[in-house]
A = this chain, B = another copy of it.
Amino acid sequence: MLSKSQISFVNALQQKKQRKEQGLFIAEGVKSITEFLNSDYTVSSIYCTADYLERFSKLTQKVKIHEVTDAEIKKLSALTTPQHALALVEIPEKTAIVPESFKGKFSLVLDGIQDPGNMGTIIRTADWFGFEDIICSNDTVDVFNPKVVQATMGSLSRVRVTYLELQPFLAAVKLPVYGALLDGENIYTKNFKEEGLVILGNEGKGISTQIIAEVTESVTIPRFGKAESLNVAIAASIFCSEIRRKSFDIKR
């Protein structure tokens, strides 16, 4: 049985301010929760049906369980068709960023991405292509926004997302900084070397002027038709794919 105060506590976590204050975020759905349970994240509590509990009893032994009905989950959920479980997960402590930790690999940098769906899809795509790190400007949408968490489909449990002041970070890091821009080198023939950062800009405004100044190599996805631009998650995925394709070519 769900109390009114439980409902308002969980609903309040839709807001960033409340998430920060409580140190918790919402993860919905069986798959997503399983991935958080199997990760370095700490799942604080799960609201779930008796059926769910039976299926996942082994995995959830150490977690505080609230057994509820599907109708009750609906009151907690922001989804139109909620699944049989909703978890509250602890927001990890911020760890200091060591620029050296980005050497020898590729990472994504997001400059002001606003749409939760785009953000979540970028995290999921990064996870598919084996990019472990995403660096975000402080004005990028909050990664613990429930819509972002949902769109990552569990990949948030594996990809490390860090918010920071981008400009000083980029100025300090000694790596190639690839910018997704309209007038750069053709991505298909571009040599990506062995390491670097790939910057993707805001949905409407692109990469901000201050950050463009830190780009060492402009790269463009050639246009064959007439659309004015690509969705930012699509652009991110083509960068991830091209970088991996080329490493694959090398390994053959």
Give me the interface of A with B, judged by CB distance under 8 Å: 31, 117, 121, 124-132, 151, 153-155, 158, 188, 221-231, 233-234, 237-238, 241-242, 244-245, 248-249
Contact = CB atoms under 8 A, between A and B. Distances in A.
B224 A129 contact: yes
A166 to B, nearest CB: 24
A229 B117 contact: no
A20 to B, nearest CB: 23
A220 to B, nearest CB: 12
A128 B226 CA distance: 6
Copies in the complex: 2
A229 B129 CA distance: 11
Contacts of A223: 128-130
A248 B117 contact: no
Contacts of A231: 121, 124-125, 151, 233
A245 B242 CA distance: 10
A91 to B, nearest CB: 22
Given A221-B241, A237-B237, A245-B188, A128 B158 contact: no
A113 to B, nearest CB: 15
Nearest to A248: B188
Most chain B beta-carbon contacts within 10 A, residue among A31, A131, A151, A228: A228
